[in-house]
Structure 1
Amino acid sequence: MSYSIIQKDFYRESGRYLSSFQILKKCFSPNLHYIYLLRKTQRHYKKPVIGLFYKLILRHYQIKYGFQIYPETQIGEGLYLGHWGQLVINPKAKIGKNCNIAQGVTIAQANRGKNEGVPIIGDEVWIGPNAVIVGNITIGNNVLVAPNAYVTTDVPDNSIVVGNPAVISSKANATENYINNKV
């Protein structure tokens, strides 16, 4: 059976694939509601009438919930927002599949210096509360970015990143028990 990207995102929360009605019932949670609207907007983004409708609705909920994630942002299936509130992701950033992003996270563009540009984040990355990832850097697969980490350098696969400035440690199972219900 083929599942939609929305079903895959909601699978991350529940551990099971849900019907459209079950998904709508879960939209009382602000983080799941926002994911639902984000994916609908991404799906209809280039359509004149319905695209504009979803963009306006998404903008309303960006302000209401504090999520600044734009429909242009490339985000793989299985997105999980653990909590709601104050989250900023540059629209040019790229995020892989099965990623967890906590509250207070900033994924931003650097406008000057050697890392001018936006981050690319791999698959199965867990980003803890208030972490900041800035510039033209690559975060590999299976990486845990600890709470309050400030990351301005490339991070290889299978790593844990802590602190400010970021200290990178190699760990084979870095996100084990942090990223559940992978799609």
Structure 2
Amino acid sequence: MPALPENRIHNWLDCRAFMAADYYSRSGRRPVIEFVMNPVVRFLVLLRIAEWLLNIGAPFIVRAPLMFWFRRLSMRCGFSISLNVFGPGIALPHYGPLMVHQDACIGRNCRIHIGTVIAGSAVIMDPAEVPEFDAPIIGDNVYIGPGVKMSGPLRIASDCAIGANSVVTHSFNRPGVMISGFPAKIVGLQGSQDMLVRGCDFVPALRATESIIDDLQAAG
């Protein structure tokens, strides 16, 4: 996958900006109390610090204690989420079963609910025929309802909302629509505008970033 500056933490300032965007996307209140009382908040903080240490090339002996804590918290929350998958401003409203493929690429301000599976291709392929992107690429400001399932090299445009228990089997390149059903189809023109908080809008360092989908298209 091409290096995506928006979707990666390169330094401590980036790490702080990502954590701030996550904080505003979730609630924007009582950060210390929520960190102590809510394991999901601790998970997100550890996720960003782990991404920072990995991306700056910190030695494994430095990362190991934090990664041990992160993995234990992942199992406690029921999350299977790899590093460097989500852009800034992620909101995880609940703990519970949630799986995101390590090759998935998700933009800013994603709100994703319990029971969601974002997987790679469900078929065995010849290594020479594996596409460059073998997992979903999801744009900015996308709402993903409970129980959504999607897999393979499909794309979801920015500002879309995916209804609960939908099964997404192909790409949706039209931004700002409502997607629902099995298999999923466009059921409305009301996207995610009123369904999530755009945490990146509250962080000056992230306001001017470009869409992750635009970056991917430019990369070919």
Band the TM-score falls in, shorter-chain normalisation: 0.7 to 0.9
Residue 160 of structure 1 deviates from its aligned partner by: 1.1
The CA distance in 2 between the partners of 1:81 and 1:115, in whole Å, is 31
Mark the CA change 1:91 to 1:180 in structure 2 (over 3 Å): closer, same or farther. same
The CA distance in 2 between the partners of 1:97 and 1:39, in whole Å, is 14
Higher mean alpha-carbon deviation, 108-117 vs 44-53, is at 108-117
Query: Contact 1:108 / 1:134 at 8 angstroms: preserved in 2?
Result: yes
Q: Please, which of 64, 68, 80 is the counterpart of residue 68 of structure 1?
A: 80
Cα offsets for 1:22-73 (capped at 9, x unmatched): 53431121221211111111111231122222221111111111011111x3
Residue 74 of structure 1 deviates from its aligned partner by: 2.4
Query: Contact 1:9 / 1:79 at 8 angstroms: preserved in 2?
Result: yes
Length, aligned pairs only? 176
Query: Contact 2:118 / 2:150 at 8 angstroms: preserved in 1?
Result: yes
Aligned to 1:141: 158
Aligned to 1:40: 49
Aligned to 1:23: 31
Letter in 1 for 2:70: L
The CA distance in 1 between the partners of 2:27 and 2:97, in whole Å, is 23
Runs of 4+ in 1 over 6 A off after TM superposition: 113-116
Letter in 2 for 1:95: I
The CA distance in 2 between the partners of 1:64 and 1:47, in whole Å, is 26
Residue 96 of structure 1 deviates from its aligned partner by: 0.1
| Fraction of identical pairs, as percent | 27
Aligned to 2:64: 52
Q: Please, which of 159, 168, 178 is the counterpart of residue 186 of structure 2?
A: 168
Query: Contact 1:158 / 1:170 at 8 angstroms: preserved in 2?
Result: no
Aligned to 2:10: none
Query: Do residues 83 (structure 1) and 94 (structure 2) align?
Result: yes
The CA distance in 1 between the partners of 2:130 and 2:141, in whole Å, is 23
Query: Contact 1:93 / 1:107 at 8 angstroms: preserved in 2?
Result: yes
Residue 181 of structure 1 deviates from its aligned partner by: 4.2
Aligned to 2:104: 93
Residue 144 of structure 1 deviates from its aligned partner by: 0.4
Cα offsets for 1:106-142 (capped at 9, x unmatched): 0000143799710000000000001011110001000
Query: Do residues 128 (structure 1) and 145 (structure 2) align?
Result: yes
Q: Please, which of 170, 173, 193 is the counterpart of residue 153 of structure 1?
A: 170
Q: TM-score, normalised on structure 2?
A: 0.73
Letter in 2 for 1:143: C
Q: TM-score, normalised on structure 1?
A: 0.87
Cα offsets for 1:79-105 (capped at 9, x unmatched): 000111110001111000010000110
Query: Contact 1:104 / 1:129 at 8 angstroms: preserved in 2?
Result: yes
Residue 14 of structure 1 deviates from its aligned partner by: 2.6
Q: Please, which of 90, 110, 124 is the counterpart of residue 121 of structure 2?
A: 110
Tell me the SS of whatever aligns to 2:71. helix
Tell me the SS of whatever aligns to 2:118. strand
Query: Do residues 9 (structure 1) and 22 (structure 2) align?
Result: yes
Residue 180 of structure 1 deviates from its aligned partner by: 1.8
